[in-house]
C-alpha cells in the first residue's frame, strides 16, 4: 500500500467562509499516483470543518445560518474565560465535523453527481491548514 500526504493552506478574508476545495484535492489525488484507495481530508484546526455538499450559494447561506442558530456568537461561552473569543466556532466544528474520508476509484474522487468538497471556516482571518492523506494502490 502506498501513501501520499499534502497540505492546503487557507487565510480567509472573513471570519466565517465556505471555500470549494474539490479541484485542489483531486490534483493531490492525481499527484499521488494512487488508483484505488481512500483520501482523508481533514482540517488541522478545531474551528474549521471539511464537508461534502452541493456547490450552490443558497445552500451555503442556509448552512451558515443554521450553524449560527445552533451555536450563535455570544460572549457567555465558558471557553471565553480562557481569553479566547471563538467558543461558537468550536461548537460549529462539532456540527459539521473535522474531516471526511472519500473513495478513490481509477485515480479520481468517486463522487455522486452533486458531491463537492468544501473547507468551512468559523474563526478565520489567519493561516489555517488542511491535511490530505491519500492511501491505496
Q: In order along the chain (137 residues), what is the average pLDDT of each group of 10 residues?
A: 98 97 98 98 98 96 98 96 96 97 98 97 97 98
Q: Looking up cell 480562557, which residue turns up?
A: 82
pLDDT of residue 56: 95
Are the beta carbons of 105 and 58 closer than 8 angstroms? no
pLDDT of residue 102: 98
Are the beta carbons of 118 and 19 closer than 8 angstroms? yes
Are the beta carbons of 16 and 124 closer than 8 angstroms? yes
CATH number, span 2-73+84-136: 2.60.120.460
For the chain, the structural domain boundaries read: 2-73+84-136
pLDDT of residue 76: 96
Q: Which residues are 37's β-sheet partners? A: 104, 136
Amino acid at each position: 500500500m502506498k501513501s501520499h500526504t499534502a497540505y492546503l493552506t487557507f487565510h480567509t478574508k472573513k471570519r466565517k467562509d465556505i471555500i470549494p476545495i474539490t479541484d485542489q484535492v483531486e490534483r493531490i489525488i492525481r499527484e499521488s499516483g494512487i488508483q484505488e484507495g481512500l483520501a482523508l481530508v481533514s482540517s488541522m484546526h478545531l474551528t474549521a470543518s471539511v464537508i461534502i455538499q452541493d456547490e450552490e450559494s443558497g445552500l451555503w447561506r442556509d448552512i451558515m445560518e443554521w450553524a449560527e442558530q445552533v451555536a450563535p456568537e455570544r460572549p457567555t461561552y465558558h471557553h471565553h474565560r480562557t481569553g479566547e473569543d471563538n467558543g461558537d466556532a468550536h461548537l460549529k466544528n462539532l456540527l459539521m465535523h473535522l474531516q471526511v474520508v472519500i473513495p478513490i476509484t481509477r485515480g479520481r474522487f468517486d463522487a455522486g453527481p452533486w458531491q463537492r468538497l468544501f473547507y468551512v471556516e468559523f474563526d478565520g482571518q489567519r493561516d489555517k491548514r488542511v491535511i490530505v492523506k491519500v492511501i491505496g494502490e
